[in-house]
Chains A and B, each alone.
Chain A
Amino acid sequence: MSENPIITTNRQPNGWLPPFQQMSDVLQFRLDAVIGVLRDQPAAVVVAAIDDPEISSDDLNNLPTPDVAAPKNVTLATSMRQGMGLVVVTALVAGLLPFLFNWAIAGQAGTALPLVQLTRTMDQPANASATTPWQAWEETVKTIAGLEPRLPGWLAAGLSALGDWFNQPLNWLTYWLVYGLGILLVCKLLGATTTLQRFYAATSYAYLPLLLTILRPIPYLGPLAAFVAIVWAFVLYVRIVQLLTGLNTGRAVLSVLLPGALALLVAFLAVGAFIISLVRMTM
């Protein structure tokens, strides 16, 4: 077999993360600096975009369709690789304080975090008034949480909190990629002409406001910060989709909400069908 080394030339600006200035611009809704006109982009980005087989010349030059007011020659100063890096790093930073908080809580209890979380869930006021049979299970969970783990308590707590922390970027990647694909499909159905890589690169910036969720362990401030983060991220996502695809605001909002609504509908139908089947089988 012949030698076939990977070409290591990196034409993307700044490897796995976009420049800090671009992140700052996006947070202030100065999106033109990030999603701009192709001819205004640095040469390296233009070359990278033209080299990409997914971005055909007709894709670059004939974006608008008759029914949508798409901007001309839209491209990004960000690559999908930077988008992915951004989502992962944002999720890790946003999870840092909760990780330390979780470690402290589970360390105090001297057990693994999921057991502590289960116990705390059962201690919620809604469950406190539960009838006697369920109190037996509450006691069971508390008993299990009180059992000594094989490792020292602080280490078991730390490792489980670490696992919980690392789940955050994986979950955010799932939203970014899976939910993003749903949104892209709706956009395509509504007449947008953007490509996969450009869509993912641009929409990754919508995860930046979620950095505020780092405050979530703090009482009162945490839930408020989370609410602000979600609203900010949603508005940013819609604006990015709008700019990237040329769809009007209504269609952009529809494309962002529709996949979620459909997923909910399917879930309701599936649960409903399951319950009906169970009832019919027992009758």
Chain B
Amino acid sequence: MLQPRNYPELIGKTLVLEAEPFVIMTEDDNPWVEGLFLTVSLGFMIGVAHLLGGLLMTATLPPAAAVQEAILQGWRQFSQNFGASVDPATTATSLRWFWSLLTTVSGYGGGWFRLFTLVTTPFLLVIQWLITGLLIFITARSLGGRGTLNQTLGATALMVAPHALSLLTVIPFVSVSNLLLLVWSLLIVYRAAEVTHGLVWQRAIWVALAPITLLILIALLFGLLISTGLFTGVAA
């Protein structure tokens, strides 16, 4: 079994798309357990980084209550000058509610809510890995791939490697682009399909694109349903 001390090197080599980490994961005698352990460990560490970074960010900003007061004051002045037709008291209540929600969810306002990140980060990474691994396996096999589901899950677990950049969020105001994470993970999944299933690169591209295509189709379907609902509502 891989030792956690080898993870930084494994992640480093995965990020530069070297074949070795994929071969190691594929040839392990229990690839999916290896993948699960890697994903959960990294997810937990990212969760800790988010937590500490959030605490530090809160400390670098003025207290949430003082900021809320300043915003409300600004709103009052704005509605006076602009002659806004909405009732200022109603708007102030809405602003207070929205601010309270925002600060609770983000952790800016304090409270225990931010501890959820310790659980949600690894959980979401595991879900993402399992769905991607399954879809990659199905698509790769249908295109003539030779790898097993266990091997595919092991190799595709490396798609969490770019998320290691999120460890930098321990520094306040650092943010990692979701586009970067998505594209880098896509490239890693492409290499995983190529190495694990022995596919030529043209087929490996189609395999790697399968999960994202499905995601886009689902998003389009939801968008269509929502817009249909909206138009029906407006028409009614």
Contacts and interface: CB of A to CB of B under 8 A. Distances in A.
Contacts of A151: 59-60
A174 to B, nearest CB: 4
A140 B174 contact: no
A147 B173 contact: no
A84 interface: yes
Contacts of A160: 60, 172-173
A177 B184 contact: yes
A136 B235 CA distance: 38
Nearest to B175: A167
Given A80-B17, A137-B74, A163-B171, A281 B62 contact: no
A82 to B, nearest CB: 9
Interface residues of A, number: 55
Interface stretch (B8-16, B140-148, B210-218): B8-16
Given A6-B9, A6-B10, A174-B180, A166 B171 contact: yes
Contacts of A140: 70-71, 73-74, 77
Interface in A147-185: 147-151, 155-156, 159-160, 162-164, 166-167, 170-171, 173-174, 177-178, 181
A167 B53 CA distance: 14
A159 B60 contact: yes
A171 B2 CA distance: 32
Interface in B147-175: 165, 168, 171-175
Majority secondary structure of chain A interface residues (helix, strand, loop or mixed): helix
Given A112-B61, A137-B74, A174-B180, A1 B194 contact: no
Contact of A136 (B9, B78, B172, B194): B78
Interface in A115-153: 115, 132-133, 135-137, 139-140, 143-144, 147-151
Contacts of A281: 234
B78 A133 contact: yes
A123 to B, nearest CB: 16
A2 interface: yes
A44 to B, nearest CB: 15
B16 A80 contact: yes
A272 to B, nearest CB: 16
A81 interface: yes
Given A54-B19, A81-B12, A137-B74, A1 B174 contact: no
Interface in A1-51: 1-8, 51
Contact of A166 (B24, B174, B201): B174
Contact of A53 (B10, B33, B195): B195
Given A144-B62, A160-B60, A177 B16 contact: no
For the complex of A and B, 10 pairs with smallest distance between CB atoms? A140-B74, A163-B173, A147-B62, A156-B60, A1-B1, A136-B77, A133-B82, A81-B16, A174-B180, A80-B16
Given A84-B15, A159-B172, 9 more contacts: A3-B1, A5-B3, A6-B13, A137-B78, A150-B60, A160-B60, A162-B172, A170-B176, A181-B183
